[in-house]
Amino acid sequence: MTLCTKKIIKIITYKDKVIRGLSSSVSLFAYPILMAADILLYRADRVPVGKDQIQHLEITRDLANKCNAAYVLGYDASDPEGTKDGNAPGILTLPSPFFMKDESLVPGTDGAKMSKSYNNVIEIFADEAIITKKIMSIKTDSSSVIEPKDMRVSPIFALLQLLATPSEMADIEESFRIGGYVENVLNQWVERARQYTFSTMVSVHSMAST
């Protein structure tokens, strides 16, 4: 089977990687074909994909249709399962996308899509120290610490949504909206510090007066 190179060049994920400076190697160029082979080999009829993988699935369907049309007598691309009289079912199944309720992309440490190619992955089975270092390197809002934060553009918030319970997320959302968390903590400790210093000064004054 053949596939027009123009179709691969137009794939958003391919163009994005090239724009980000990755070499247009054979492995990068052929990745959609390898993905199609993995799907078609098992005759999967539904494939869980993200928004950025839709074009890959379209290529998979295109290859399956071409193969079926070339080798199956009576195959009709408009009836791939051969349900109509005179039509034969294809050898390869044409997969359909399966979307989760939340179709948002998982952000990496730089806010872009998490990908090994971009070197922005947080590996969940890595050592705790490595995970902590990765998390601490995540891009955050550059606004003042006392200002409320926009949850819609926060990669930290997006990652928390994947892991936290609804009640935990409600508390986190509230703290994001209110803002001033650091200032409040500082104010609380200022008051405690005053109590400690006052006690110390009283002791020093008492000692110096004797």
Please list the active-site residues: 17, 113, 116
Give the separation between CA 60 and CA 99, rounded to whole angstroms: 17
Find the angle CA(14)-CA(37)-CA(30) to the nearest 5 degrees.
Answer: 30
The first and second tokens of residue 178, run together, are 């209110």
Residue keyed to tokens 């039509």: 87
Residues β-bridged to residue 75: 88
Residues paired with residue 113 on neighbouring β-strands, in sequence order: 107
β-bridge partners, 48? 98
The Cβ of residue 21 has, within 10 Å, a number of other Cβ atoms equal to 7
Contact 63, 36 (CB under 8 A): yes
In three-state secondary structure terms, 31 is helix
What is the distance between the alpha carbons of residues 29 and 85, in angstroms, rounded to a whole number?
40
